[in-house]
């Protein structure tokens, strides 16, 4: 059995990656011995996925790449060097078109170094509120939809009054 170490301490991410691989029939090597069939067998028959949670002394990796790819490569190399095993890494983030791709690689620390999801969401919403074109905002807002319903109702009343004359 050989191991592939996923460059994450997040066990939920580990499960997600395993599930994606299982659903997509992704094979780590080309070999007739590897199969996804058989309940209770390890994923890929003979391949065991570990996370960095199995390596408590693994140091924090500074994700200072210029893009997701650079960060993923850096994490994979650091993981492989530290564990002396095959490594798989990813990097991802939220890219918002109206914010020209931001927060992008800075998603986790968008509102500060603490990786605070609530603060990141709050900052993103504040920026989006400021970035939306007023016409777009008025078209999609609840207020605009409510006013449109009132307008339709008034048109119906006007039509009914006209027909009653």
Domain ranges of the chain: 2-88, 97-164
Q: What pLDDT does residue 13 have?
A: 87
Q: What pLDDT does residue 56 have?
A: 95
Q: What pLDDT does residue 161 have?
A: 82
How far apart, in Å, are the Cα atoms of 91 and each of 14, 42, 94? Answer: 13, 25, 11
Q: Is there a contact between 78 and 66 (Cβ–Cβ < 8 Å)?
A: no
Arithmetic mean of pLDDT over the chain: 80
Region label for 56, one of left (φ > 0), alpha (ψ between -120 and 50) or beta (otherwise) = alpha
| Residue (of 118, 117, 120, 124) closest to 96 by Cα position | 124
pTM (predicted TM-score): 0.62
Domain 2-88 annotated CATH 3.40.50.2300: no
pLDDT in tens, 101-130: 899 999 988 998 888 889 999 999 888 876
- pLDDT higher than 80, residue 165: no
Run of H or E residues at 42: none
Q: What pLDDT does residue 25 have?
A: 55
Active site residues per annotation: 91
pLDDT in tens, 45-96: 567 889 999 999 999 999 999 999 999 999 999 999 999 998 999 888 899 8
Edge-first strand listing for the sheet containing 47-51? 47-51, 2-6, 86-88
How far apart, in Å, are the Cα atoms of 47 and each of 4, 5, 13, 94? Answer: 7, 10, 18, 31
Phi and psi dihedrals of 39, rounded to 5? -65, 145
- pLDDT higher than 60, residue 9: yes
* Tokens read off for 138: 């008025």
* pLDDT range class, residue 28, cuts 50, 70, 90: very low
Q: Rounded CA gap, 22 and 4, in Å?
A: 15
């Amino acid at each position: 059995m050989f191991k592939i170490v996923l460059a994450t301490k997040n066990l939920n991410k580990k499960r997600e990656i395993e599930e994606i691989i299982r659903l997509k029939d992704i094979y780590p090597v080309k070999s007739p011995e590897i199969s996804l069939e058989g309940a209770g067998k390890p994923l890929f028959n003979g391949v065991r996925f570990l996370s960095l949670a199995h390596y408590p002394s693994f140091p924090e990796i500074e994700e200072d790449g210029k893009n997701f790819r650079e960060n993923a490569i850096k994490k994979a190399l650091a993981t492989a060097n530290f564990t002396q095993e095959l490594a798989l890494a990813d990097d991802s983030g939220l890219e918002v078109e109206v914010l020209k791709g931001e927060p992008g690689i800075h998603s986790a620390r968008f509102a500060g170094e603490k990786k605070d999801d609530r603060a990141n969401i709050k900052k993103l919403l504040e920026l989006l509120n400021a970035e939306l074109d007023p016409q777009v905002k008025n078209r999609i807002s609840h207020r605009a939809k409510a006013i449109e319903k009132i307008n339709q109702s008034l048109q119906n009343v006007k039509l009914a009054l006209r027909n009653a004359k």
